[in-house]
Structure 1
């Protein structure tokens, strides 16, 4: 069976998109998702995105990280899917229903309302999520935020001095985070500007993380580290505009692009 795919990216965070809204494809296993994501023997991507019909939204988006694990949300993929769909839509995800709207070369995404309760992150035990009393080799007192998926946000004075590729996997898999966690290391660089790197659970260090930018902006606002309720977050792949509205909802605006299209034999990755 030949299966078509679309290769897309948002600020270099790249995806293989499978569109099963009109033509069904076989079930995706953890092994097949990881095989497709492999950059040497598969198509290669940070996340595999599956679009399916939905009962209460315009369509459903499922997200598989490069290790094959299915996760709840992906902000960059949401922008890519909005661009692919071509018109405003409601999208069902495992992290909740979001609204996407194409904007020329990208999209504006209503990412919903962040959660701060310890059990909603989730954490293994009750703790103050605004300044968690934990640390890993100088990374201390993170803010915990769930924006459809779990994030721990560390604010530092020198982003480039942090060995995130070494500390990221240690924090991601710490027993404090029963569902693992995305690790955000951020430096406030202006009144409404933040530099950010994200170690994504199941995908390692990526060039951009949309949910990470949302979580970090919300954390900075709660800590009083930026002015107002919006910030430009610059990741290695480029900037995203994040706004935390007075209604509690997060809006993310940024670019996305289609790279190429192709097809593969399902039996090679089943």
Structure 2
């Protein structure tokens, strides 16, 4: 099987051209093995590019544990760059993912991906919590704090990820610090990976929207992650909802090869 490895701000993925529908999508243990960083290729997830009528392609995403996952923003940017490199698309695309239709644009090494609209979510006073919980294609907790560089993201993130309030599916957890006026530093504990990742696209999107609500940060919000820099642009509405949400940043091919299944 031919594969390519791509990364978007350190969030890395195995990309497979599955337009002939030969990949065994039912084999969860195989996906987990391929994503394993000691016994496989190593990645935060695996993504299939498949044919889809009325669209340029379909994105099928699997978490590193082998289970089919919800929307992955950095993975979406990487598969757009993969499709561009394969010649499936030129500079603009319309594709289908698990959360619906997405538009995207490739500009050199940068990919601008339109995310799903986000409706208004309950305020902290309504939920009596010190965090926001919203869905940007995947469920996310956003918690603001200071001293993020030295924060225990793994243990604190794991506790919230498995909190009964989010059962049975759990949640991703983003610890967020406002920096440089209109910027954020974001560290994310991801379900499915069950660890801190270098970056999370739907997570930084959630952080940017929550930062607009609470700190009045304006679009576009500049975001620093452990793996690099991203931007999130959006249109905010008086009812608390958001539309025209774009995740913007680099997506790069790391290497390719073949592996025997």
Partner SS, residue 104 of structure 2: strand
The answer as to 2:7 corresponding to 1:9 is yes
Q: Evaluate the alpha carbon distance shift between residue 116 and residue 202 of structure 1 in structure 2; reply closer, same or farther with a 3 A threshold.
A: farther
TM-score, normalised with respect to structure 2: 0.89
Structure-1-length-normalised TM-score: 0.86
Tell whether the 8 Å contact from 1:8 to 1:80 is kept in structure 2 after alignment. Answer: yes
User: What per-residue deviation string (whole Å, max 9, x for no partner) do you get for residues 68-122 of structure 1?
Assistant: 12111111111111112222211211122111211101200001212445xxxxx
Q: Write out per-residue CA displacement over residues 104-148 of structure 1, whole angstroms, 9 at most, x where no aligned residue.
A: 01200001212445xxxxxxxxxx3445423xxxxxx11111011
Displacement of 1:23 in angstroms is: 5.6
Check the 8 A contact 1:129/1:145 in 2, yes or no.
no
Q: Conserved in 2, the CA contact under 8 Å of 1:111 and 1:147? A: yes
Residue of structure 2 in register with 1:51 after alignment: 49
How far, CA to CA, are the matches of 1:227 and 1:23 in structure 2?
44
Contact 2:99–2:116 (8 Å) recurs in 1: no
Deviations 1:170-199 (Å, cap 9, x if unpaired)? Answer: 111112112211100000013210001000
CA distance in 1, matches of 2:170, 2:155: 16
Runs of 4+ in structure 1 over 6 Å off: none
| Superposed counterparts of 1:101-140, under 5 Å | 101-117=105-121, 128-130=122-124, 132-134=127-129
Q: Which whole-Å CA distance do the structure 1 matches of 2:26 and 2:107 have between them?
A: 31
Classify the secondary structure of the residue corresponding to 1:232.
strand
Call closer, same or farther: CA 1:238–1:44 in 2, change over 3 Å: same
Q: Which residue of structure 2 lines up, in the alignment, with residue 148 of structure 1? A: 137
Unaligned runs of 5+ in 1: 118-127, 135-140
Size of the alignment, in residue pairs? 247
Partners in 2 of 1:110 and 1:172 — Cα distance?
Answer: 26
> Are the aligned partners of 1:193 and 1:226 in contact in 2 as well (CA < 8 Å)?
no
Q: 1:116 to 1:65 in 2, by over 3 A?
A: farther
Q: State the 1:28 CA deviation.
A: 3.9
* Alignment match, 1:41: 39
Name 2:173's counterpart in structure 1.
183
Q: Distance in 2 between matches of 1:173 and 1:16?
A: 27
SS in 1 for 2:76: helix
238-247 or 213-222: bigger deviation: 238-247
Q: Deviations over 1:11-57 (max 9, x none)?
A: 11110011112463333422111111111111110111111111342
Equivalent residues of 1:116, 1:146 under 8 A apart: no
Asked whether the 8 Å contact 1:188–1:226 carries over to 2, the reply is no
Aligned partner of 2:211 in structure 1 is 220
